[in-house]
Amino acid sequence: MSKDVPESSKDSESISPLGESKSQPPSTEDTQSTNSNSIPHIHPYRDIATELLWVNRTVVAASSAAVVGVAAGFPFDSIKTRMQTHHYDSMLQCIKSTYHEEGMRGYFRGIIPPLITVSIIKSVSFSVYEGTKSFLRERYQFFNRDSLLSVAAVSTLGGATSGSFIATFSCPLELVKIQQQLQHLLLTSSMATGGTIVRGSNGANGQKVGIQRTDLAHKVGAGIPITTQATRSSSSPLRPPKLPNIALPSTTSEKLANSVYGKVTPIVEDIPKQTTRPANGPSTSSWRSAREIVRLKGVKGLWSGYSLHLFRDTIGTAVYFGTYESTKRILSSPSSPPGPLTHFMAGGTCGILCWIVVFPIDLIKSVMQKDIMAPKPTYDTIRECVSDIKARQGYRGFYRGMSVTLMRAFPIHSLNFLVYEQVLQFARKTAGH
Mean pLDDT of 240-245: 48
How far is Cα 196 from Cα 378, in angstroms, rounded to an integer?
8
More confident of the two residues 168 and 216: 168
**By mean pLDDT, which of 222-236, 309-323, 350-364 is the weakest?**
222-236
Mean pLDDT of 316-330: 96
User: How would residue 30 be classed by pLDDT, with cut points 50, 70 and 90?
Assistant: low
Mean pLDDT of 317-334: 93
Does 217 have pLDDT greater than 50?
A: no
The conformational region for residue 217 under phi > 0 = left, psi -120 to 50 = alpha, else beta, is beta
Q: State the pLDDT at residue 244.
A: 47
Q: State the pLDDT at residue 231.
A: 39
CA dihedral 211, 190, 396, 80 (to 10 degrees): -160
Does 16 have pLDDT greater than 80?
A: no
Mean pLDDT of 151-166: 96
More confident of the two residues 373 and 21: 373
Residue closest to 327 by CA, chosen among 356, 352, 359: 352
The answer to whether the CB of 160 falls within 8 A of the CB of 307 is: no
The answer to whether the CB of 17 falls within 8 A of the CB of 31 is: no
Per the prediction, the chain carries an average pLDDT of 74
Residue closest to 147 by CA, chosen among 317, 322, 319, 330: 330
**By mean pLDDT, which of 151-165, 254-268, 308-322, 356-370 is the weakest?**
254-268
Segments making up each domain of the chain, as ranges: 59-191+284-431, 198-261
User: How would residue 127 be classed by pLDDT, with cut points 50, 70 and 90?
Assistant: very high
pLDDT one-digit tens code per residue, 43-80: 567 778 888 888 888 889 998 998 888 888 888 888 88
pLDDT one-digit tens code per residue, 84-103: 778 888 888 888 888 888 88
Highest average pLDDT, of 3-12, 171-180, 386-395, comes from 386-395
More confident of the two residues 300 and 221: 300
Q: State the pLDDT at residue 263.
A: 52
H/E/C letters for each residue in the chain?
CCCCCCHHHCCCEEECCCCCEEECCCCHHHHHHHHHHHCCCCCHHHHHHHHHHHHCHHHHHHHHHHHHHHHHHHHHHHHHHHHHHCCCCCHHHHHHHHHHHHHHHHHHCCCHHHHHHHHHHHHHHHHHHHHHHHHHHHHCHHHHCCCHHHHHHHHHHHHHHHHHHHHHHHHHHHHHHHHHHCHHHHHHHHHHHCCEEEECCECCCCCECCEEEECCEEEECCCEEEECCCCCCCCCCCCCCCCCCCCCCHHHHHHHHHHHHCCCCCCCECCCCCCCCCCCCCCCCHHHHHHHHHHHHCHHHHHCCHHHHHHHHHHHHHHHHHHHHHHHHHCCECCECCCHHHHHHHHHHHHHHHHHHHHHHHHHHHHHHHCCCCCCCCCCCHHHHHHHHHHHHCHHHHHCCHHHHHHHHHHHHHHHHHHHHHHHHHHHHHHCC
The conformational region for residue 298 under phi > 0 = left, psi -120 to 50 = alpha, else beta, is left
Does 206 have pLDDT greater than 70?
A: no
User: How would residue 267 be classed by pLDDT, with cut points 50, 70 and 90?
Assistant: very low
Highest average pLDDT, of 141-155, 373-387, 400-414, comes from 141-155
More confident of the two residues 286 and 319: 319
The answer to whether the CB of 110 falls within 8 A of the CB of 138 is: no
Q: State the pLDDT at residue 290.
A: 86
Mean pLDDT of 319-346: 92
The domain defined by 59-191+284-431 folds into Mitochondrial carrier fold (1.50.40)
How far is Cα 313 from Cα 70, in angstroms, rounded to an integer?
17
Residue 168 Cα distances to 49, 171, 270, 302, 411, angstroms: 32, 6, 36, 10, 28
Q: State the pLDDT at residue 218.
A: 36
Does 271 have pLDDT greater than 70?
A: no
Phi, psi at residue 121, to the nearest 5°? -60, -45
Does 149 have pLDDT greater than 90?
A: yes
**CB under 8 Å to 11, separation ≥6 — which residues?**
none
Q: State the pLDDT at residue 113.
A: 73
More confident of the two residues 296 and 247: 296
How far is Cα 148 from Cα 150, in angstroms, rounded to an integer?
6
More confident of the two residues 108 and 204: 108
Residue closest to 225 by CA, chosen among 264, 186, 275, 192: 186
CA dihedral 259, 261, 264, 267 (to 10 degrees): -150
How far is Cα 416 from Cα 319, in angstroms, rounded to an integer?
16
More confident of the two residues 18 and 193: 18
Phi, psi at residue 198, to the nearest 5°? -135, 165
Highest average pLDDT, of 213-222, 268-277, 311-320, comes from 311-320
Residue closest to 156 by CA, chosen among 310, 319, 343: 319
The answer to whether the CB of 161 falls within 8 A of the CB of 314 is: no
Angle between helix 340-370 and helix 402-431 axes, rounded to 10 deg: 130
Does 106 have pLDDT greater than 80?
A: yes
